[in-house]
Structure 1
């Protein structure tokens, strides 16, 4: 038996005001963390040598802790058990998988080579950013745009598991095999499918298992209302704390490189801007053409356009090092992504007039 629940009509308050204080000014916090890192690098030029003394599997322990801290709260939010109704929508599932794991990575591969053909480290970093599919901010953005919450939860869960299973293979394909086929320069020899797979297993696998167990045991012990209403708000900010801590250390290590090459940062921003706008627009158009309805079309578009920059940063650091261009590209990702995707919430809400009134509702079992 099916019931139809009307999609919430947003109030007149600006979208940005509906975000939490921390989320609303995320781009500002990132900029401040960058500035703090640059200043720290100037004051403590020996910081790199100090961090190198405490390393495990080529990555500094303090940075590794920051990466794990920022990943865990994100994965504790995923509703792993809400799969039945959404999985039954084969049209949505197939479309999402095709966009997320075939079309979007191929598009970023093209953009990276167009804009950064002479900068292999940054080019590789952007490709890694795109292979890390969105699992965090999409929940907030999807709610603000009145998308389908259950569909978002299932697509995020699928993306999380798929990344553990396929990230290494896709990295090898787009960074080595495909460029070789096309006669292009391949990523340096220090890259290996084993290294990138281990990075994903550690920095996504560990917090994924921890997040799943936390949700399962927490709901069983005190119920979903307590878990989502009290527990998640308490641990949620730690994702941002971990991200900012990592950014401070990265920019402390890369300060001289960044200051001497500001144009390189701008060149990375251009393909990212193009990617977010085009992929989001394509997701909305495809969903409308397939008659998915506004809520699921919006969810499809945001899960396709967003990226899991936390994982991208972790993989880049673990595989190429904290002072690499790949790691810097991972940091530039959220600086561009957050304000652009918030702006696209307004675009999504505006686009509702192009959907039949019967498609502005969420059907549930």
Structure 2
């Protein structure tokens, strides 16, 4: 019990104050926005002036700012530090990641949203938008706390950032408007002209609200590393940049609930139903990936046992059993020791995490800041942060409880 409490304290201390307080801050932002909407209805007019892509300029600025800090953390240098013997494992891990992140997980969220929110399609589409956006921010933190493969995680995040620029628009149309029966779908046919126009709108929205932060993040990091050095930039400069993302997110949420306050109060029960698919998604995808990959990656003879005796390399404690590899028990131990905890943990957290910032930006741009889709998208970080924080504890527990391949830095 004391060991568990100590581990919880260590994880809590590893979080910044902004990360610790973000769920509470989101709830406070929802309350503040709703109160302002209820008692100061004229405040809604303040965000209906000049707009860009159907989003008021003040709100658009906040939405861009909230996405820039995570992209400033991306370590592009890891792409140039891959040796020849590491490329095979990297390619294998990236293929697994693409299948999980861009095929399995979006369909998983679609199914969960449809089962729980089939009668409120606006909220359902807001949840689906979260499911098709792959995480580029908090996943780096969860992976580090859970002691995953940080280099692999950085490469997956870079890959997902680029893929989101290219395929988020067609994914939105397919999952929300065709599979989710959105505005361009009816019972008998699909409006091709409507889809074509919608694709153009979504592509412009993604290009603006992800493209600008993406380019800004690359420039800021490149310039900062050049001037301050990588270690100083990550440890010092990012402490000033990171809170800007939190401020931008909270500002955006306040504006959304200023616009949506009255109707949110009247439909609060429906709104909270959005919690069900989100909690189920984070839990199912994490455990499914973690357990499934441990079986898949451990079923082969990937483990290379080179020690002559268990005293020569007592890393994970299973060398003695592996010496008897001809027996059924020895083969079972060998399968367990073929699975690499660091890689599996990274895959589990990258699969379970989502880009709620992009989902929020797209929902506001396409449906309006007073839409049910935007309200549903705000619940992404509210649920994701406490659930995945709990899963970091589960991950560390399973690292101690189960057998793994000896820890080796592969990338």
TM over 0.5: yes
Do the aligned partners of 1:66 and 1:246 also contact (CA within 8 Å) in 2? yes
Shift of 1:33: 0.8
- CA distance in 1 between counterparts of 2:118 and 2:212 reads 35
* 1:170 corresponding residue in structure 2: 171
Aligned pairs for 1:15-164 (under 5 A) are: 15-83=11-79, 84=82, 88=88, 89-164=90-165
Shift of 1:280: 0.4
- CA distance in 1 between counterparts of 2:161 and 2:188 reads 30
Shift of 1:199: 1.2
- CA distance in 2 between counterparts of 1:23 and 1:282 reads 26
- CA distance in 2 between counterparts of 1:341 and 1:40 reads 31
- CA distance in 1 between counterparts of 2:52 and 2:357 reads 19
* 1:301 corresponding residue in structure 2: 348
Do the aligned partners of 2:149 and 2:409 also contact (CA within 8 Å) in 1? no
From 315, 320, 327, the counterpart of 2:362: 315
From 403, 406, 409, the counterpart of 1:356: 403
Do the aligned partners of 2:8 and 2:393 also contact (CA within 8 Å) in 1? no
* 2:291 corresponding residue in structure 1: 285
RMSD: 2.2
- CA distance in 1 between counterparts of 2:22 and 2:52 reads 30
Do the aligned partners of 1:122 and 1:325 also contact (CA within 8 Å) in 2? yes
* 1:205 corresponding residue in structure 2: 211
Q: How many pairs align? A: 354
- CA distance in 2 between counterparts of 1:87 and 1:313 reads 35
Which structure 2 residue ranges, 5 or more long, are not aligned? 1-5, 299-338
Do the aligned partners of 2:125 and 2:180 also contact (CA within 8 Å) in 1? no
Shift of 1:26: 1.1
What are the superposed Cα offsets for residues 141-192 of structure 1, whole Å, 9 maximum, x if unpaired?
11111111111111111110000000001111112333579969989x6981
Distance 1:185 1:229, change over 3 A: farther
What are the superposed Cα offsets for residues 277-299 of structure 1, whole Å, 9 maximum, x if unpaired?
00001110132121451111111
- CA distance in 2 between counterparts of 1:121 and 1:260 reads 15
Do the aligned partners of 1:175 and 1:186 also contact (CA within 8 Å) in 2? no
- CA distance in 2 between counterparts of 1:26 and 1:259 reads 22
Do the aligned partners of 1:146 and 1:295 also contact (CA within 8 Å) in 2? yes
What are the superposed Cα offsets for residues 283-318 of structure 1, whole Å, 9 maximum, x if unpaired?
101321214511111111111001111111000001
Do the aligned partners of 1:27 and 1:334 also contact (CA within 8 Å) in 2? yes
SS at 1:147 equivalent: coil
TM-score, scaled to structure 2: 0.81
- CA distance in 2 between counterparts of 1:338 and 1:230 reads 24
- CA distance in 2 between counterparts of 1:93 and 1:272 reads 25
From 271, 276, 290, the counterpart of 1:270: 276
Which structure 1 residue ranges, 5 or more long, are not aligned? 1-9
* 2:312 corresponding residue in structure 1: none
- Whether 1:232 and 2:242 are equivalent positions in the alignment is no
* 2:334 corresponding residue in structure 1: none
- CA distance in 2 between counterparts of 1:362 and 1:237 reads 34
- Highest Rg: 1 or 2? 2
- CA distance in 1 between counterparts of 2:87 and 2:133 reads 22
- CA distance in 1 between counterparts of 2:346 and 2:97 reads 9
Do the aligned partners of 1:128 and 1:171 also contact (CA within 8 Å) in 2? yes
Distance 1:364 1:261, change over 3 A: same
* 2:308 corresponding residue in structure 1: none
Do the aligned partners of 2:25 and 2:250 also contact (CA within 8 Å) in 1? yes
